[in-house]
Chains A and B, each alone.
Chain A
């Protein structure tokens, strides 16, 4: 016997026109979603920048900050977070975006590493980085750092005064300047495969600036070894000058009679002078230097002459027109 198939009541049957409209609606919905996602995704791709907050970095130092007595040059301002200081870097050897160095600098091998010290010195030498840093007791120093782009940080460096190293190699009477050179190796520094700047990066100081007790060579920050993106294994820190003077990953220190041709001042002499002293009175052609944003803060703060180190260094420039010699 065949059972009669039960028919649904007519009230449950969708009319054909409604059925077709539903299909139309679904089709529109799918196209809407696809288009919206496409437009949004495209804009994201074109405008987006890597966030630069990851990159397989070790997290902030786990041990609680040691309460140390304040050193003679330390600022009592709160240090910038370790994450910010190690993920927001200008280091064009690893890319132009500030997040690039943290992402790309792992290809640099900071050991073994040798530093050549030569030029107008009585004791020129080539020395291994570990030997070099073993010559001096390492000091912690909390310095303000001011970038020419009008942002600033407070960084606890670890290192030793450059003066100690210079005295050890005995500058000759002809030495007037110190030139520093960064490693040039596109295999370890992928940013050097493009010629945005002339490689290797070169910076320099007048000898009296180099001998100032504030000037230091750093091998660490926040009580740990210097991360590659911050200039491992050896970098210069000159706290009263804009950050670009603080040359990173140094392989050569040469004492010279002539002012060395430094990378940024050669690339754009109108915007980046040799001295690059932090000076709220002398504007960068594209922005004022009167104020700065401390990383981690919302409001700008006034920039201090010589980045707050005028007492220690202003005398170095007496008689020099700092508007012309910027």
Chain B
């Protein structure tokens, strides 16, 4: 069942999704980010990337469970916003935190699992962002596009692992994100199983 047009929906999610960035920029300009603003920007952009990616992965399960269709209309936007924050997070680390010290950055990526998985998550998001336009969906064909975009499950999972390994003590918060993600996957799996059963069950009942 399609929901009403809701012309304001996407612009509202875009503005809402970008407002933390605007606030961060404002706080940076006013120097109210505390003693270590670079650390704050890193933490916040990373958190926002993860939250928005998990939110984009919640759209389909919401349709399955609650029957809502409007989340599907902001799914792409949420994914792209998440990607944008992930890129900002990475750029903050590379440019501001490490001052473009390439040797150190490459060593970090190669040697430190917590950075390796974070970097891998970002790399996996690139083809998804590139193929996010309707034209690319048509060019690839929906089944191929859909399979490709299942990489988002891997990227979000790696994002949670990256967060988990980053925390020094008290893993409650990353575990909450891991739990939400696991629940979303469980709904997807249950739905896929239900569909398969319905498909194989159909000929038998339709004598």
**Taking beta carbons and an 8 Å cutoff, which residues of A are in contact with B?**
28-29, 31-44, 46-49, 51-53, 80, 83-85, 87-88, 92, 96, 98-99, 151, 194, 196-197, 267, 283, 285-288, 290-291, 293, 295-296, 298-300
- The chain B residue with its CB closest to the CB of A89 is B35
Q: Which of A37, A47, A51 has the most chain B CB atoms inside 10 A of its CB? A: A47
- Cβ contact within 8 Å between A43 and B20: yes
A84→B12 CA distance, assembly (Å): 37
Which residues from chain B contact A287 at a C-beta distance below 8 Å? 108, 112
Chain A hits for B20, CB < 8 A: 40, 43-44, 47-48
Query: Which residues of B sit under 8 angstroms from A34, Cβ to Cβ?
Result: 12
User: A-B contact count, CB below 8 Å?
Assistant: 121
Residues B108 and A84 in contact, CB atoms below 8 Å apart: no
Q: Which residue of chain A lies nearest to B47 when distances are taken between CB atoms in the complex?
A: A47
The distance in angstroms between the C-alpha atoms of A293 and B165, with both chains bound, is 21
- Whether A35 touches B99, Cβ cut-off 8 Å, given contacts A48-B44, A287-B112, A288-B104, is no
> Which residues of A have CB within 8 Å of B165?
286
Chain A residues, Cβ within 8 Å of B40: 49
Does B43 lie at the interface of the complex (its beta carbon under 8 Å from any beta carbon of A)?
Answer: yes
Return chain A residues, CB-CB under 8 Å to B43. 49
Residues of A near B114 (CB, < 8 A) are 286
A40 near B51: Cβ-Cβ < 8 Å: no
B169 touching A197, Cβ below 8 Å: yes
- Contact across chains for A39 and B16 when beta carbons are under 8 A apart: yes
Given that A44-B19, A84-B35 are known contacts, is A39 also in contact with B12, CB under 8 Å in the complex? yes
Identity of the chain B residue whose Cβ is nearest the Cβ of A194 in the assembled complex:
B170
Task: State the Cβ distance, B6 to closest chain A Cβ, in Å.
Answer: 8
CB<8 Å pairs between A and B, sample of 15:
A35-B9, A35-B13, A36-B13, A43-B48, A47-B47, A51-B27, A53-B34, A88-B35, A96-B169, A98-B35, A283-B111, A286-B112, A286-B115, A288-B107, A298-B38
Most buried by A among B9, B11, B16, B43: B16
The reply to whether B17 and A43 contact each other, CB–CB distance below 8 Å, is yes
Query: Closest Cβ of chain B: how far from A272's Cβ, in Å?
Result: 10
Can you list, as one digit per residue, whether each of B72-107 has a CB less than 8 Å from chain A (1) or not (0)?
Answer: 000000000000000000000000111101001001
Please tell me if B143 contacts chain A, counting CB pairs below 8 Å.
no
Question: Could you tell me which B residues sit within 8 Å of A by CB distance?
Answer: 6-9, 11-20, 23, 27, 32-36, 38-40, 43-44, 47-48, 51-52, 96-99, 101, 104, 107-108, 111-112, 114-115, 165-166, 169-170
Closest to A295 in B: B35
| Minimum Cβ distance to chain A for residue B175 (Å) | 14
Q: How far is the CB of B18 from chain A (nearest CB, A)?
A: 8
Contacting residues, chain B, for A84 (C-beta < 8 A) = 35
Rounded to whole angstroms, the CA-CA distance of A34 and B11 in the bound complex is 12
CB distance A32 to B8 under 8 Å? yes
Contact A298 B96 (CB under 8 A): yes
A151 touches B47 (CB 8 A): no
A83 to B47, CA, bound (A): 26
- Closest chain A CB from B121 CB (angstroms): 16
CB proximity of A200 to chain B, nearest CB, Å: 16
Report chain A residues within 8 Å CB of B107. Answer: 288
Q: Are B15 and A40 in contact (CB under 8 A)?
A: yes
Considering only CB atoms, which chain B residue lies closest to A32 in the complex? B8
Q: Which residues of B contact A40 (CB under 8 A)?
A: 15-20
B35–A285 CB distance below 8 A = no
Q: Which of A43, A49, A285, A293 contacts B112 (CB 8 A)?
A: A285
